[in-house]
Amino acid sequence: MEAARPSRTALRVAMRRAAHQLYDAEPLVLNDPFAVPILGREYLPEIERTQFKRNKPHSVSLRAHMVVRSRYAEDLLAQAVARGVTQYVLLGAGLDTFAHRNPYPQLHVFEVDHPATQQWKRDLLVANNIAVPASLTYVPVDFEHQQLAAQLAAAGFDTTRPAFFAGLGVVPYLTSAAFRSTLSLIAASPEGSGVVMDYGQPRSALPFLEQLAHDSLSARVQLAGEPFQLFFTPSEMAAELSDFRDPEDLGAPQLNQRYLASRKDNLKLMGSAGRIVSAWV
Ligand SMILES: C[S@@+](CC[C@H](N)C(=O)[O-])C[C@H]1O[C@@H](n2cnc3c(N)ncnc32)[C@H](O)[C@@H]1O
């Protein structure tokens, strides 16, 4: 991504989480009282302007993917915390608001993000009167040009204690080198640590109609200055995670079944492109 500009894709994701709060039926998949306020007067009108798009199947599916991946991450985090994890590292945090909803008194949250995106988020929090909790530490890092381990250590992250890591909506934007060095850091964490991320399948692995949807999304993120550059098939991802135990790699059918089965609205994931994976150290 461009060095000096906050992530546009982070804004698009946050708008979809906010649209979920505003327009989808109860019970929400991701109940996030900060999702709307964080956008404030600057960005909320954009959601209202694009409201007409919200029921288009492709848009519904993207929104479903984004709220389900956050919910899945937070469900696994709850399991990790129950087993004694006290550190949560959000890689490429964007406008994620978990730190502001953190229900675990013993859990410290480290938000890692590209410096320009992180500063933009912090400005938005100030502008919209959202307090920064004492249990949150910001760690500005460009994964392509800085050492994540050194920046985390400088921010007070304790490498001798287990941690749960989430990379939501981040993997496709990384180079293979940055992805692998991040995964090695997680694999070297103490037993009990875990990771959750979502990833996309390569175009060549998709059926024809999904290739068209892939092309359209790729063109949009390219225009936003954040081109996709990293894809995996499930077997390639399994190989990347070979140092971890208990991997769980879920596609649309399993995620729909787990989180969206008995909804009154049409919120559901479609296609085979997007997948969510978790694994443990
Ligand atoms: C699509 S957004 C997802 C944001 C957030 N995880 C969410 O789900 O709302 C991608 C995020 O990855 C971050 N990112 C992309 N490339 C990065 C890099 N090289 N170093 C640090 N962060 C990066 C962006 O700043 C942005 O916050």
Ligand 1 midpoint to CA 11 (Å): 10
- Nearest ligand 1 atom to the CA of 69 is 8
- How many domains does the chain divide into? 1
**Is 3 a domain residue?**
no
Please indicate whether residue 1, judged by its CB atom, sits closer than 6 Å to ligand 1: yes
Residue 141 pLDDT greater than 70, yes or no: yes
Does the beta carbon of 139 sit less than 6 angstroms from any atom of ligand 1? no
For residue 3, name the pLDDT band (cuts at 50, 70, 90): low
Write out the residue range of the structural domain in which residue 46 sits: 8-280
73 lines ligand 1 (CB under 6 A): no
| Atom of ligand 1 minimally distant from the CA of 66 | 8
Domain membership of residue 198 (yes or no) is yes
pLDDT at 51: 66
- Asked whether residue 276 is assigned to any structural domain, the reply reads yes
pLDDT tens digits, 18-72: 999 999 999 999 999 999 999 999 998 888 887 657 788 888 999 999 999 999 9
Structure pTM? 0.96
Report the CATH number at residue 120: 3.40.50.150
Query: Above 70 in pLDDT, residue 2?
Result: no
Residue 37 lies in a domain: yes
DSSP per residue, 179-219: HHHHHHHHHTSPTT-EEEEEEE--GGGS-HHHHHHHHHHHH
